Amino acid sequence: MSQADAPETAPLDAPTLVIRAGAAFDGLLTCPKAARIEGRFTGNVFAEGRVEIGEAAEVTGRIEAQDIVIAGRFEGELEATRCISLLATARVQGRLCARELIAEEGCMVTGRCRTIPPRGV
């Protein structure tokens, strides 16, 4: 098989689950890798990898993941084992807990933020 015929492989952090804009989902999502929400979601998300909330997304509930990136609206609880990143368009209300918190200029947060030390510290 030539290089041109080889199937494309997804990047390691490519979402294995996507809720597209215009779609709505209520319930529990468990994802072994990364997930991206671009639509409306109400419920809990548990992912071993990265969870991304798109700019047009509206999410209410709880998210637990390794890394969380918010560009849209979120209300509830965020818990990351590594990092929570709030992009400039993020509108977050609730509780955030992670080892590292990155907030771009322009994001809005109402609630409580807590950083946790790395293991062994």
CA distance 21 to 23: 5
CA distance 37 to 23: 9
**Token reading at 25:** 């989902």
Quote the pLDDT of residue 53: 97
Q: What is the mean pLDDT of the chain?
A: 88
Q: Quote the pTM value.
A: 0.85
pLDDT tens track for 50-80 = 999 999 999 999 999 999 999 999 999 999 9
CA distance 10 to 110: 35
DSSP 3-state percent helix, strand, coil across the chain (nearest 5) = 0, 65, 35
116 compared with 102, residue with greater pLDDT? 102
**Count of CB atoms within 10 A of residue 69's CB?**
19
- Domain spans, the chain: 12-115
